[in-house]
Amino acid sequence: MTSTNFKTENNTYRKLIGNGLTYRIPKFQRDYSWGEEEWEDLWADLLSTLRNDEPAHYMGYLVLQSDDDKSFEVIDGQQRLTTLTLLTLAALKHLQRLIDAGENVDENKARLEELRRTYVGSLDPVSLTTHSKLTLNRNNNDYFQQYLVPLQPLPQRRLRFSEHSLRKSFEWFEKHLETWLDGQQGDRGRAIAQFVSEMSDKLFFTVINVTDELNAYRVFETLNARGVKLSSTDLLKNSLFSVLHRQSTMRDEDMPVLESRWESLLARLGSEGFPEFLRAYWLSTGRFVRHADLFKAVRREVTDRSQVFELLRQLDEDLDTYVALQEPEVSTLPPRAKHHAQTLRLFGVKQPFPLLLAARRKLTSDGFEKVLRACVVISFRYNVVGGLSPGEQEPVFATAARGLADGTLTTDGELIGALARVYPSDEKFKASFVEKVFTKGKTRLARYVLAELERQSGGASVDPDNDAISLEHVLPLSPGQNWDAFRDQDIEAMSGYLGNMALLRRGTNNALGNADWATKRPVLEASEYKLTHELAKENAEWTPARLMARQNKLAHLAGAVWRIDQLS
C-alpha cells in the first residue's frame, strides 16, 4: 500500500464522532452481534479508566474507507462504534427522564441537545427524524433510526434477532448507567454530561483510512488473521524470558530448556490459543483475572527464575486436560467424560474450563466426571437456553476452583454445591426454553436437544451426529402456500422454535420439502421416533397455538433432562 491510499492515525472518540464526520456500515455487512460479555468488558474498561483518572483507554483498530475524508464506510469496527452510540443514547435517555421529572429542565435540555448534536446527529423537532452521524446496515438501520436514535418506546416483538440485540444493548447500558448514577453526588444531569464527555476524550482508536475496497480487504484480513493474538503471545513470552535475564542466578542451560518447554506448549496449542489456556490455568488456581489484565497479572506475580519454571511445569501438567476439553474425541478421557466434553464443545461454552482443570487435579476420575456432567447441565441452562451473562458466571467458577486449591472444598458434591448461583431454577429454565430460538446455524445443537428429549421420553436411542438423521421443520423456514395460519412476522421466530422441529430419517425429510401439514402429518406419524410420532398424532392442524403447546411440552421434558438434583 502506498501513502496515497493508506494512512494511519490515533484519534479519540470525540475527534472521530464529534466533528461533523459521518459513518455508514456497508449495506450488506453483518448485523449487530455484540452481547453481554462484550458490553461488560467495555463497561468495566470504561469505569476503570474514569474511576482511576487514567489518561486514555485503547479501543483497538478502526478500518475506514473514504475518498473525501468527510463520510466514511466502516470496514472493521462497526460493533464498537455502534455500541458506543447505544451507550451515548442510553445516557441521553437518562437526561430525558430528568427533564420529564422537572429536574433542572433548562440546563438538562441544553445538555441533551448539545450531546445529541455532537455525538448522535441533529433531530428535526417536527418529524423527529434524525440526520444521524452513524447509519447501520440494511437489517438494523430502520429500527436504529426509528426508535433508538429519537429515544422512542422500543418494540420488543416481531423483530429480527439483531434488532433484539440493539434493544438489549441499549437497555443494558441504560440499567448500568442508572446504577452508576445512583452513586453520584450533586447535579445528576451534569454527571451524565461529564460522563459522556470524559468517555469521548479518553477512548481512542488507531484509525486506518483506505481509499478502495481492495486495500480495505487486505487490512481487514491482516488484522483479524494475524494481528493481536500473535503479538499477545509474544508479549507473554518476552515477559517470562526477561525474568531470567534479570536474575543473577540464571544458568547456561536455563534458556534452551525454557525455549524447549515453550515450543512444546505452542506446538499443541498454537500461538492463538496460548493466552486463552494461560488464563484458564490462572483462573483454575482461584486467581480471577480479566482477559485484558492477564499480562499485567503474570508480570506482577511471576518475578523470579523458580516461578517461571514452576508456571511452565504446571501449564504442562494441565495441558492434557485442556486439550481433552477442546478435542475430546482424541483424548484418553473415559467414555462418559468424553461424551460430556463433546457436549460442552457443542455448546461452545468454555467458562467451566478453569474449574475442570482444578477438578482434574484434585478429584478422582469418578468425581471429575460428575463435575463435568454438572458443568454440561449448568452450561445448557445458563448459557445455551438462558443466554445469561458469562461475565457473572466466570467468578463463580473461579471461586469454586479456589476452594479446591485451598482445601475448603474437597468432594465433587461440595464443588457442585458451590455452583448454585449459576444454576437457573426450573421455573426460569423452562420459561427461557419456551422462548429459545434455534437459528439455521444451530441445526446440530437442535438435533442434540431433540435426541436427549427423545431418550427422556422413553423413545429410541438417537445419535444426533448420525448423517442418516435430519431435522424437519414442520413450518418450513421458507414456507410457500398453505401455511396461512402463520403471519409473515411469525415465521422467522416460530420456525426456529424446537416445538416446530422433529427428527426424521434423511430420505424422508428430503421428500417432504416445503409440503403442507396435510401432506407431512402421515409421514411424521409413521416415524420410529416417539416425539415425532406424537407430534403428528396429537395435532390435527399445525397452528401457532399448537406449535406453542408443543414448545411448552418440550420445555417441561427438558427440565428433567438437564437437571442437577442437588441444586433443584
Whether residue 543 is predicted with pLDDT greater than 90 in this model: the reply is yes
Confidence of residue 217 (pLDDT cuts 50, 70, 90): very low
Report the pLDDT averaged over residues 288-314.
Answer: 87
C-alpha 35, offset from chain centre: 5
Mean pLDDT of the chain: 89
How many alpha carbons fall within 13 Å on the CB side of residue 121? 20
CB burial readout 347-373, b (16+ within 10 A) else e:
bebbbbbbbbbbbbbbbeeebbbbbbb
Q: Kindly state the average pLDDT of the residues 458-483.
A: 88
pLDDT value for 244 = 74
| Mean pLDDT to the nearest integer, 58-75 | 86
Judge whether residue 450 has pLDDT over 50.
yes
The dihedral region occupied by 154, where left means phi > 0, alpha psi between -120 and 50, and beta the remainder, is beta
Give mean pLDDT, residues 165-182. Answer: 96
Domain extents in the chain: 6-211, 229-424, 431-565
Work out the pLDDT band at 2, boundaries 50, 70, 90: very low
Q: What is the mean pLDDT of residues 180-187?
A: 92
Query: What mean pLDDT do residues 67-90 have?
Result: 92
Mean pLDDT in residue range 386-390: 93
Give one DSSP letter per residue of 225-256, joined into a string: IIIHHHHHHHHHHHHHHHHHHH-TT--TTHHH
Of 169-183, 233-247, 423-437, where does mean pLDDT reach its minimum? 233-247
pLDDT above 70 covers a percentage of the chain that reads 91
Q: What is the mean pLDDT of residues 264-279?
A: 86
In whole angstroms, what is the distance from residue 380 CA to residue 431 CA? 14
Residue 231: per-residue pLDDT: 42
Output the pLDDT for position 220: 53
The tens digit of pLDDT for each residue in 234-262 reads 667 767 877 876 665 667 677 778 878 88
pLDDT at res. 513 = 76
pTM higher than the cut 0.85: no
Helices marked H in 59-211 — which ranges?
78-100, 105-119, 141-143, 161-182, 188-202
Residue 555, pLDDT > 80, answer: yes
Q: How many residues are listed for the chain in this entry?
A: 568
- The confidence band for 369, taking pLDDT boundaries of 50, 70 and 90, is very high
| Confidence tier at 228 by pLDDT (50, 70, 90) | very low
Rounded to 5 degrees, what are φ and ψ at 122? Answer: -85, 145
